[in-house]
Structure 1
Amino acid sequence: MDALRDTLRDALSGSLPTSFPTSTVVLILTLYLLLHHLQSSPHHPGEPPILPSRLPFLGPLVGMALQGGRYLKHLGLSHPHLPIFTLPVPFSRLYIVTDPSLAMAVQRASKTLDFTPLVPDITRRVLGLDEEAVEVMRRGEGEDGGGFLGGVRSVVYGALGQGRELEDLSLRAGRELSCEVATWVQKVDGKGETVDLLIWVRHFVAQGTGRLLYGRDNPLASGQEMEDAFWDFDHGLGGLLAGVFPGWTARKAWRGREKLAAAFEEWIRDGRYREEDVPDIVKQRIRIAEEHGFSTAAAARSEVSFLFAGIVNTATTTFWTLLQIFARAGLRDVVRGEVERCVSEDGAEGEGRLSLEKLKTDCPVLLAVVRECLRLGSDTYSVRLVKTDTELAGGRYMLKVGSVVQIAGGVMHADQTIWGDNADLFDHTRFLTTAREANGNGHRSEGENRPKVQQSVSGGVHPAAFRAFGGGKTLCPGRHFAINEILAFLAVIVLTLDIEAADGSGKIKIPRKNDSVLPVHVLEPVEPVKVMVRRREDARKITVV
């Protein structure tokens, strides 16, 4: 700023080179100083501290476009004294929350800080919904349980909440993924295969989840081309979300989305969603779409989003967890021992019956590794629209109507004041506690040193600091199903297969995550991980029960 003021002074005094139009310089610099002053001026005395940009108003948007999630994460970690700060953007404000207690306050203020009003426009850009479908989504959006969004929310929460339907769906998911592994083992015939671990895992998850949710005759079952279209769509979500001529700026993702939408439209028109192997949750979603006036094409695009929700985070979390487990022989042996205790021999000869219920309760180390991988890999943001002026922290902060609040999960997950000095390193033990620690006494008792998984983040860590599944009204309704599915898939792989470095070095390299993209889900690695996967000599066929 001082340099700009000096330049402006030179221009006014006539000391700039004569070849440079002084009036133009004065105009540009005056405009810049005016915009800088405007962006630095709070809209209310209680507005959170402003972090002005060198490029007034546009800086945050450019930063996020060029650096992805790394931009806001760097800002948050660079200003640890600010639990919330303001980023001025054109015609609005972004309030970035980096403190768990304030995140909890935002979650509790769900009547005035709400994600729902943002849903129609976001889905229009990401899914390519037409204006009629967007208008249907807007109707009843402010009513609890009302309209299309309320109906879908009721169905999804009902099916994926704790209960028999969740248990049945989780068992089916485990069996589908177990079949994928068994089919692969039979194909390679004991020889093993060098694979890209992420691509290998996500193929199993895509095919297994496709059958689970949409039956054997689902769109992804038609061939690799359709699965490739799905991942093209996933990898270009940021460009679609930006909404700037996506047919050109995000062409690969746009084409992938359109191919998926066309396949789902045909699937619905043919009535394949009525088949017995399609679960009730999908049938009810399509019924609600039809009742609220969605066209078949719009209903198809809605199902693309549901398929996306069922595949992407499960695949990427499984990848990171397998990588961390098999990169550490000691951890692999501990996890394998836990999982072995969940297998009974009362099945057919050479077959083990893996109890999903025991996996959830008797495998604390495995679950701790999953949670730590979610912490390290999830830089996602929970977003709310400020519907009316809202005070936080007892009136200390004022959030102005029309602005957007973002709870910065990536900042909290990397905050050393929350997770300790090793916050940037993998350490699954932060999610473990021994029986002695849980009992809070020094008396020895049977099994006191057996690790027990924390059912919630404890040990002095604020419960809102773990953001992998969001929080409050937007807490992921599929979190229980996702954890069940991931645990079952991991257990089958750990029992059945060995994973080693492809180069024979004995050391699997763990790359860093790619945080230069918008963090719409668990982040992928910056480079492929090649491994050798082969069947264990004493492996049995595993059935999830």
Structure 2
Amino acid sequence: MASNATLFSPGPDNVVGPLAAGTFRSIPMTIGIALVLLVLINTLLTPRVDPREPPLLKPSIPFIGHIINLFRHQAAFHTLLSAESALPIATLQMLNGKVYAIWDPTLISAGLKSKNLSNVPQIRKYVSNLMRTSSEGTAFLTSPEGDDLSIRMLQHVIPKSLKGENNASMTRAALSELSSTFTSLSRPSGSGDTAAEKIQIPNLWAWTRHTLVTATSAALYGPASQDPFRLNPEMETALFDFEASLLLLSLGLPFPSVTAKVGHAARAVLSKGLEPFYVEKKYNHPACSAFVRDRAELLIGEGVPEQDIPRLEIMLPFAGMANTVPTLYWLLVRIITADRETVERLRSEVTEGLLQVRHDDSEAPDGGELKGKIAGGGGEAVLKIGANLVEEKCPLLWAFYRETLRSAVHQVSTRTVMQDTVLQGSGPGGGKEYLLKKGTVVQMAIGAGHARGEYWGEDRNEFRPERFLDAAGKEGGGVGSAKAVRSAYQPFGGGVHLCPGRFFAIAEMMAVVSSVLLAFDFEPLGGEKEWKIPKLGVGSLIDAVTKPADRDQGFGVTLKIKKGWKGVKWRYEMA
């Protein structure tokens, strides 16, 4: 076979000429010079890292490797890199800059509590890109006055509006809507037809989404006559199209109607649907939540242009629905696909711990008699709902809920270091201190912390609710102990950013799950013999809970009304 030199020889006799030979001999020198230059450039562009800072992890592809993988895997990038490096925290090279990545839960907890790590710069960066505010509104919202407004909104207005009676009022409104949903579900048409006792749900994701969106919008905005989501049903789909496009929209690419077509169109549907509610000041209705009203009053009182209020407030229903829907979905999936013995244990807990029954509005002398009357059909089923009550009376159900959050929450909290800060953790690796430099972006990967073996053990990638029951009996701070679980379990964030709406969301989810357990048997749609658990999708860097991989095709379920539960009227009371 001819050599490469022969192929490029100028002579007819395949003799390598002087010029070709010289070129061939210079190739190693050229490669050597290129390698030296590459090393030099890499050295010059590698960010300087203080020995006290987290250790530097360079990308496999110089300069851009971490960026490529971050966009490719999004939140899972951190889980993968955390497992690969086995580090609690690292400095990641991004081009010639750096980002801190925190994976150890105790360091994440310290970061979330630190006042020197702020998300205001991120709000500034994305407010215009995501919500397309006017030039006047953007100028205000990205000014120091706008920064103060963001801090007041996050630290004072929102937490206050979701506490005490404000939260109770919202919860009662949502539970009232859910009672209508399940009362209708328990009374299918054709009451004499056996087939009517089977309810076909072709797409559990779509059903879960609609059930929670309807309940939550009623709690947020008040009666149907002014609720934007019930007046504009297309807003439900638009909300989740917008959510799926958040990362793309946040980049602020030119011509978003082309570069982010679906998200851009969804954003327009949402802002247009919200516009009459805010222009006509319907948030003053007494049934409207303080969460909606207090936010609107602060924005208007601070001089945010009126036309920008609906654009800004498309994030409000996102906050109330986008993470609760997938959490409930995965909880239902895990319960529905559990073995029969486990399902019966869950039913028994709900029956004994949460269920009361009044038949024809008459009082019975003891709970046993009340619960027995439901077997005759009809009547009113009353459930006591509350996070503390469920935790106390339904330990296995509570463990299912916690394990669902551990496995599905992928949240990455992004902050900027406002001044040089030292973080110290207390995990299995010890309490080493790390210096975070002013101006550097920090990504705290809660999802990665939920998958670290030193806290959760070798079965960390399995769905095993019993781990939370086991932890309660384990002393010390070893793997899977109560202390390890307390340290590593952070689905709601922490510090000033601890989710203020978590108790409202828990009440909604427990009302749905308890009712499904009590009144229905379930089987795969279409006569399938075995359940096929849906796959997780890609966890976004902007939201917190992973959606199913294929939302459109979904996960089909047949609900069969249990004997004695047909025609029941449902009611939920706050515990």
Normalized against structure 2, the TM-score is what? 0.81
After superposition, residues 140-539 of structure 1 pair within 5 angstroms as: 146-151=148-153, 153-161=155-163, 163-186=164-187, 189-215=196-222, 216=224, 217-245=226-254, 246-328=256-338, 329-341=340-352, 342-346=354-358, 348=360, 350-357=379-386, 358-359=389-390, 361-393=392-424, 396-432=433-469, 437=473, 459-461=482-484, 463-515=486-538, 517-518=540-541, 520-527=543-550, 528-539=554-565
Contact 1:229/1:257 (8 A) holds in 2:
yes
Contact 1:130/1:298 (8 A) holds in 2:
yes
CA distance change for structure 1 residues 493 and 386 in 2, over 3 Å: closer, same or farther?
same
Deviations 1:355-390 (A, max 9, x none): 114435422221211110010001111222011222
- Residue type of the alignment partner of 1:322: L
Bigger Cα Rg? 2
Contact 1:236/1:253 (8 A) holds in 2:
yes
Deviations 1:210-238 (A, max 9, x none): 12111212221134422221221111112
**What is the alpha-carbon distance in structure 2 between the residues aligned to residue 104 and residue 239 of structure 1?**
29
Contact 1:139/1:147 (8 A) holds in 2:
no
Structure 2, unmatched stretches of 5+, are: 1-21, 190-195, 362-378, 425-430
Moved more, 322-331 or 45-54: 45-54
Moved more, 89-98 or 375-384: 89-98
After superposition, residues 32-181 of structure 1 pair within 5 angstroms as: 32-80=38-86, 82-90=87-95, 92-110=97-115, 112-139=116-143, 146-151=148-153, 153-161=155-163, 163-181=164-182
SS at 2:484 equivalent: coil
**What is the alpha-carbon distance in structure 2 between the residues aligned to residue 191 and residue 277 of structure 1?**
36
Deviation at 1:122, TM superposition (A): 2.7
Deviation at 1:534, TM superposition (A): 3.4
Normalized against structure 1, the TM-score is what? 0.85
Deviation at 1:67, TM superposition (A): 2.2
SS at 1:372 equivalent: helix
**What is the alpha-carbon distance in structure 2 between the residues aligned to residue 16 and residue 160 of structure 1?**
75
Contact 1:140/1:148 (8 A) holds in 2:
no
Equivalent in the alignment of 1:444: none
- Residue type of the alignment partner of 1:43: V
CA distance change for structure 1 residues 538 and 391 in 2, over 3 Å: closer, same or farther?
same
Deviation at 1:425, TM superposition (A): 0.7
CA distance change for structure 1 residues 336 and 384 in 2, over 3 Å: closer, same or farther?
same
Deviations 1:175-226 (A, max 9, x none): 2223223334445653411321111100111122112111212221134422
**What is the alpha-carbon distance in structure 1 between the residues aligned to residue 41 and residue 77 of structure 2?**
22
SS at 1:192 equivalent: strand
**What is the alpha-carbon distance in structure 2 between the residues aligned to residue 434 and residue 61 of structure 1?**
38
Contact 2:173/2:215 (8 A) holds in 1:
no
Deviations 1:309-356 (A, max 9, x none): 111211111111111111112222122212222122236451011111
Deviations 1:476-526 (A, max 9, x none): 121222222221222222223333211323432213311364462210122
Deviations 1:141-192 (A, max 9, x none): 798xx5354046422201223x233233223222222322333444565341
CA distance change for structure 1 residues 302 and 155 in 2, over 3 Å: closer, same or farther?
same
Contact 1:98/1:408 (8 A) holds in 2:
yes
Task: Calculate percent identity across the aligned residue pairs.
Answer: 28
Moved more, 385-394 or 202-211: 385-394
Deviation at 1:17, TM superposition (A): 9.3
SS at 2:415 equivalent: strand
CA distance change for structure 1 residues 542 and 99 in 2, over 3 Å: closer, same or farther?
same
CA distance change for structure 1 residues 523 and 395 in 2, over 3 Å: closer, same or farther?
closer
CA RMSD of aligned residues (A): 2.9
SS at 2:297 equivalent: helix
Contact 1:379/1:519 (8 A) holds in 2:
no
SS at 1:198 equivalent: helix
SS at 1:461 equivalent: helix
- Residue type of the alignment partner of 1:137: L
Moved more, 258-267 or 348-357: 348-357
CA distance change for structure 1 residues 418 and 15 in 2, over 3 Å: closer, same or farther?
farther
**What is the alpha-carbon distance in structure 2 between the residues aligned to residue 141 and residue 83 of structure 1?**
37
Moved more, 400-409 or 163-172: 163-172
Moved more, 216-225 or 290-299: 216-225
Moved more, 515-524 or 246-255: 515-524
CA distance change for structure 1 residues 187 and 287 in 2, over 3 Å: closer, same or farther?
farther
Deviation at 1:30, TM superposition (A): 6.4
**What is the alpha-carbon distance in structure 2 between the residues aligned to residue 312 and residue 187 of structure 1?**
29
**What is the alpha-carbon distance in structure 1 between the residues aligned to residue 341 and residue 542 of structure 2?**
32
Deviation at 1:134, TM superposition (A): 3.7
Contact 1:197/1:531 (8 A) holds in 2:
yes
